[in-house]
Structure 1
Amino acid sequence: MPKKIAIDTYARIIAEIGRQSAGIGMDALHALVKDVISRRSLQRRLAQFVAEGQVVREGKQRGVRYRLASISGEAGITLPLLLVEASAEVYVPLSPEGEEIRAHVRQPRQMRTPVGYNQGFLEAYYPNETWYLPVELREQLRLIGTPPDDERPAGTFARNILNRLLIDLSWASSRLEGNTYSRLDIQRLIELGQAAEGKDALETQMILNHKAAIEHLVNEADLVDFTPYTIFSLHALLSDGLLADSSACGRIRHRPVDIGGSVYLPIAMPRRLNELFRITLSMAKEIRDPFEQAFFVMVHLPYLQPFEDVNKRVSRLAANIPLIRHNLCPLSFIDVPERAYVEAMLGVYELNRVELLRDVFIWAYERSCQQYLAIRQELVPPDTFRLRYRQALSETVKAIVLHRQQPTREAVSAAIPSSVAKEDHDKFVKLVFEEFENLHQGNAIRFGIRPLEFAAWQEKAK
């Protein structure tokens, strides 16, 4: 049986709850939507709806029922949230083409024609000749996304705002997958290593996976590119501990998948998948404009569905590769409405049309730039010494942990790589001590230290 990939459960769940004026229990609701969502995922989704105020939870224990929240109209008439006019819907500004695509994908599934992968969609694209983003739009995005000091080495701007980016992008990207962690929960997890109480372990794992993948992109900005190795690495980091078959992490899928809520059927043959995967990346690598490159990847990686799961997450982070490398403002997807993103992807899957996703991309990037504008203005000058020796610093910290040593001056001095100039040794040792003062399980991955390795060192250090 092909594996289901939940993609558009929002409208279905809300609609079923809206039909029950007296509310509906978990068992009854799951019986109505079990064809598109598991019970555990439904519980997470309902918790999210309750937290956002869209759904009201009433009763206790087995008597719990869910009903739509109500709002008051101007005439004092109480209407269910589902019936609010479309103009009040949380969405992004749409072009006429985007509105047309949205209208199509909102039709019942039975009214949409089943389609398979269209290779002609990819073949019609010629790098640096075909443009999904018009030149005026690319110039506008570059204008708002370029920091004043963009001549620094690749990844400098992203490293300067890394702490904020880790929280924002981990939260926003995970939320688009139905994760119910709040932004504050994620901040505690990333900065303090504290998992939120009452959350599914898989949700916690998803956040930590995003953190590891983002750090990889930023710390290796001068090395990552649109190569199979980079994308496989991204998938391995993002899917770690989340797939039933752990061997599927970081490799082309070997079984068919279908997409819940969509009439699109992705390619099933691994050999053809692998060929098209490499062609897609080769084309992406040829694109010279970083914004066009980012958008191309957001379109064609999910459309191909090269992995068993986590395809959209990979595409969202991969879209940041050219932005980070060119020292542009990264794309955090902060505040992007889930329904808008889902329907935009359906437009790509079923119609091979990119206009709705382009509307989402433009709004999301402008929002990201607004988010980081104040931060950019307040940035302190980067520590050039740390920047110069960041690889040596990582190697030294990791070596001491793997050898289960105390970070004494002798141990640190013995572990200093030859790339560190002798006249810099004293300052380098102080830098290593600073890192160990702030080292904990939640941030050890920055140095390539895995949780079990950190735990073994911590136990020995007691």
Structure 2
Amino acid sequence: MIKIDQKRQKIIKLMLGGQVLPSSKIHQEIKTAGEDISPVTVKRILSEMAKIGLLEKSGAGRSTGYNISVKGRISAEVDAKEYCSTEPDKRLGLKQYNFKLLENIPKDIFSPEELKVLHEATAEYQKRTEDLSPAIEKKELERLIIELSWKSSKIEGNTYTLLDTEKLILENKEAPGHDRKEALMILNHKEAFNYVRQQAGTFKTLTRKNLEELHAILVKGLSVELGLRKRPVGVLGSIYRPLDNVQQILEAVEALSRAVAKMADPHAKALMAILGLSYIQPFEDGNKRTSRLLANAILLAYGRAPLSYRSVDENEYREAVLVFYELNSLMPFKKIFISQCEFAAKNYAVK
């Protein structure tokens, strides 16, 4: 992924609404925003952006227009908190599933600088996991499972504390005053992580079968229908409406599998899986939980550190995912993902 300067980022931001704009309109908007720039310069920049794939050019002569491409969308620098502070119906995002997104996403979604950080994290993780005694390996596994189960559940609104979660997983003691389903959600995470750890090799290829098996473990006992959903779902606080046709959902899952397969780096595969599955929402419930465990399955399959999300702010996580839903920008969530990869490499020794 190339680094995009602020001038081009401003143009990308103008285009996120999805409309085709002539260079004159783009120039006018830039001038209105207070930047002194000539029409000729704007035309040159737009032409360059189209050439490197950030924009799509249509028409000719005075009818020439520009629209944002998938590459442009995923590269958009967006302040997720600021974007989400606007009421949903006043936001400029996409309301429907973008059929171009998964089919056209580039294989390199990390910059060289980001890859360097991830490779250094992997080296640290591999060093930490060398020559572990069985006792330490068991303790490390328990700690990761507890912290992952707690935070992943908390992101979904579970009210168990970390200490409650520890007691539940290690002693099978439920916290008083909590809904039984909260305990089940946490225990399902434990079972799901053990499953993906044991079956990690099978997740080098994303299939409907391994996806549905993982989902079934995570929603066991929670009154969630298994298999691809057959009814529409909405997203709380978002204008985005996922696909509501089971055949299209299946095709989207297949498109996600292809997108994950073409990614050049294991971390890119995991990032694509977590955001892509959340975006498709193929199941009645439990999609984001499944996406987090799926990403860990991929990371483990390629010898990378699994993530607990322990240090993640839940609101920042939700906002970053929502930006991907509505604008298709990877940037806010990618920052969270890289940070969690670094955190995992420094804090866990589970392989």
Q: TM-score, normalised by structure 1?
A: 0.55
The residue aligned with 2:318 is 342
The residue aligned with 1:234 is 214
The residue aligned with 2:114 is 137
**Whole-Å Cα distance in 2 between the matches of residues 218 and 159 of structure 1?**
13
* Matched residue SS, 2:347: helix
Alignment of 1:198-237 (within 5 A): 198-225=177-204, 226-237=206-217
* Matched-pair contact (CA < 8 Å) for 1:144–1:369: yes
The residue aligned with 1:20 is none
The residue aligned with 1:119 is 99
The residue aligned with 2:70 is none
1:382-421, Cα deviation, whole Å (9 max, x unpaired): 9xxxxxxxxxxxxxxxxxxxxxxxxxxxxxxxxxxxxxxx
Task: Work out which of the residue numbers 294, 300, 303 in structure 2 matches 1:324.
Answer: 300
CA shift, 1:366, in A, is 2.0
* Matched-pair contact (CA < 8 Å) for 1:105–1:343: yes
The residue aligned with 2:248 is 272
The residue aligned with 1:258 is 234
Task: Work out which of the residue numbers 130, 143, 147 in structure 2 matches 1:168.
Answer: 147
Task: Work out which of the residue numbers 315, 324, 341 in structure 1 matches 2:291.
Answer: 315
**Whole-Å Cα distance in 2 between the matches of residues 158 and 357 of structure 1?**
30
The residue aligned with 1:458 is none
Q: Aligned letter for 1:227? A: T
Give the aligned CA root-mean-square deviation in angstroms: 2.4
The residue aligned with 2:267 is 291
* Matched residue SS, 2:234: strand
Q: Aligned letter for 1:203? A: E
* Matched-pair contact (CA < 8 Å) for 1:158–1:165: no
* Matched residue SS, 2:118: helix
**Whole-Å Cα distance in 2 between the matches of residues 345 and 199 of structure 1?**
28
The residue aligned with 2:88 is 109
Task: Work out which of the residue numbers 162, 165, 170 in structure 2 matches 1:183.
Answer: 162
**Aligned pair in 2 of structure 1 residues 159, 218: CA closer, same or farther (>3 Å)?**
farther
**Whole-Å Cα distance in 2 between the matches of residues 258 and 317 of structure 1?**
22
* Matched residue SS, 1:336: coil
CA shift, 1:134, in A, is 1.5
CA shift, 1:158, in A, is 8.1
* Matched-pair contact (CA < 8 Å) for 1:158–1:330: no
**Aligned pair in 2 of structure 1 residues 326, 158: CA closer, same or farther (>3 Å)?**
farther
**Whole-Å Cα distance in 2 between the matches of residues 287 and 97 of structure 1?**
21
CA shift, 1:96, in A, is 9.3
* Matched-pair contact (CA < 8 Å) for 2:78–2:329: no
Q: Aligned letter for 2:250? A: N
* Matched-pair contact (CA < 8 Å) for 2:77–2:332: yes
* Matched residue SS, 1:280: helix
Q: How many residues align?
A: 269
The residue aligned with 2:327 is 351
**Aligned pair in 2 of structure 1 residues 179, 312: CA closer, same or farther (>3 Å)?**
same
Task: Work out which of the residue numbers 169, 173, 179 in structure 2 matches 1:194.
Answer: 173
* Matched-pair contact (CA < 8 Å) for 2:200–2:301: yes
**Aligned pair in 2 of structure 1 residues 300, 219: CA closer, same or farther (>3 Å)?**
same
CA shift, 1:115, in A, is 1.0
Runs of 4+ more than 4 Å apart: 149-152, 157-160
**Aligned pair in 2 of structure 1 residues 158, 105: CA closer, same or farther (>3 Å)?**
farther
The residue aligned with 1:448 is none
* Matched-pair contact (CA < 8 Å) for 1:205–1:241: yes
* Matched residue SS, 2:235: strand
**Whole-Å Cα distance in 1 between the matches of residues 120 and 81 of structure 2?**
29
* Matched-pair contact (CA < 8 Å) for 1:98–1:359: no
**Whole-Å Cα distance in 1 between the matches of residues 104 and 328 of structure 2?**
11
* Matched-pair contact (CA < 8 Å) for 2:103–2:255: no
* Matched-pair contact (CA < 8 Å) for 2:263–2:269: yes
**Aligned pair in 2 of structure 1 residues 252, 322: CA closer, same or farther (>3 Å)?**
same
* Matched-pair contact (CA < 8 Å) for 1:302–1:311: yes
Larger radius of gyration: 1
Q: TM-score, normalised by structure 2?
A: 0.71
Structure 2: state its 5+ residue gaps: 1-74
The residue aligned with 1:18 is none
Alignment of 1:281-430 (within 5 A): 281-372=257-348, 376=349
